[in-house]
């Protein structure tokens, strides 16, 4: 199973073994260009999400797979959708975990409610102040503010979540993040990309976290609606990283889907 990390611009190491999914499948972790163990390209335009999709197809060919099982997380789901749209007949299955709905124009209307639902937790006041400040903060302050707001990304802000969150600072490439690009019609024909998703006949699973205050739940449903037939599962108690919050439930859902 080819695994695509999010960020954008984060090395694949944070995916770990996806809660134990490695016992079922060989997980091929793809560091996007300029992240992790992948080189920085001479041409910065190849860092754009639609160009990263070309690397997914190149990896499929390299692995001699007639069709590929692909699992993607967060911003990586944009890359996965771009690849699936361009190569619908090469998709064996697609698992999109806490996806971004930027291609679909999702407005994240449920995120405010998901944030407010955490008001009873001891870290809430400081994290909420940082989250609100992000809206107008200059780039020089954003990393510090995101660090303070991280509890909103997890279902529980316990030692496990804190240890996982602490890896982000050394795993994110600013060059790759900036090169990923906005999702707009200027560089990419988004309408054509979405139309291409209607040609994907392989099974699609979209996994959302019940407490995901980053991308929300509505975005997952919007993404699922872009395919002819897609299953959406909302994992209770999980945030943006469900294999961290609810590893057993996450693996069970993906395993059941892959065995159908």
Residues of the chain by 3-state class (helix, strand, coil), percent to 5:
50, 10, 40
Q: What CATH number is given to the structural domain containing 28? A: 3.40.50.1820
Give the contacts of 249 (CB within 8 A, at least 6 positions apart).
235, 236, 237, 238, 242
Instruction: Give the pLDDT confidence of 141-163 residue by residue, as tens digits.
Output: 888 999 999 999 999 999 999 99
- Residue 196 sits in which domain range? 2-110+174-259
Determine whether 113 is exposed, middle or buried from the number of CB atoms within 10 Å of its CB (0-12, 13-18, 19+).
exposed
Residue by residue, pLDDT tens for the chain (260 residues) are 999 999 999 999 999 999 999 999 999 999 999 999 999 999 999 999 999 999 999 999 999 999 999 999 999 999 999 999 999 999 999 999 999 899 998 888 899 999 999 999 999 999 999 999 998 888 888 889 999 999 999 999 999 999 999 999 899 999 999 999 877 666 789 999 999 999 999 999 999 999 999 999 999 999 999 999 999 999 999 999 999 999 999 999 999 999 98
Residue 8 lies in a domain: yes
Residue 146 lies in a domain: no
Residue 120 lies in a domain: no
Instruction: Give the pLDDT confidence of 170-179 residue by residue, as tens digits.
Output: 999 999 999 9
How many domains are contained in the chain?
1
Residue 230 lies in a domain: yes
Residue 175 C-alpha from the chain's centroid = 18
Residue 40 lies in a domain: yes
Residue 55 lies in a domain: yes
Residue 77 lies in a domain: yes
d(CA 12, CA 6): 8
Number of neighbours of residue 12 by Cβ within 10 angstroms: 24
Residue 206 lies in a domain: yes
Q: Evaluate the CA torsion angle 85, 87, 88, 94 in order and state its sign.
A: negative
Q: Evaluate the CA torsion angle 91, 93, 98, 104 in order and state its sign.
A: positive
């Amino acid at each position: 199973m080819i695994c695509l990390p999010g960020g954008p611009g984060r090395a694949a190491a944070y995916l770990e073994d996806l809660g134990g999914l490695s016992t079922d499948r060989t997980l091929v972790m793809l560091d996007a260009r300029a992240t992790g163990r992948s080189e920085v390209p001479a041409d910065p335009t190849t860092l754009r999400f639609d160009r990263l999709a070309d690397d997914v197809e190149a990896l499929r060919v390299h692995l001699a797979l007639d069709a590929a099982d692909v699992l993607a997380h967060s911003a990586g789901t944009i890359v996965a959708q771009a690849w699936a749209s361009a190569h619908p007949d090469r998709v064996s299955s697609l698992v999109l975990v806490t996806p971004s709905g930027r291609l679909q124009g999702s407005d994240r209307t449920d995120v405010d409610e998901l944030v407010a639902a955490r008001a009873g937790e001891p870290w809430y006041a400081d994290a909420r102040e940082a989250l609100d400040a992000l809206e107008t903060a200059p780039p020089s302050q954003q990393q510090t503010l995101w660090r303070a707001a991280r509890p909103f990304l997890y279902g529980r802000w316990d030692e496990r979540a804190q240890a996982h969150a602490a890896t982000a600072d050394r795993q994110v490439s600013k060059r790759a993040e900036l090169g990923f690009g906005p999702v707009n019609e200027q560089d990419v024909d988004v309408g054509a990309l979405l139309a291409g998703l209607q040609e994907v006949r392989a099974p699609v699973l979209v996994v959302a976290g019940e407490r995901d205050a980053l991308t929300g739940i509505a975005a997952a449903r919007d993404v699922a609606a872009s395919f002819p037939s897609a299953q959406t599962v909302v994992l209770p108690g999980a945030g943006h990283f469900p294999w961290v919050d609810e590893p057993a439930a996450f693996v069970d859902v993906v395993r059941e889907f892959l065995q159908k």
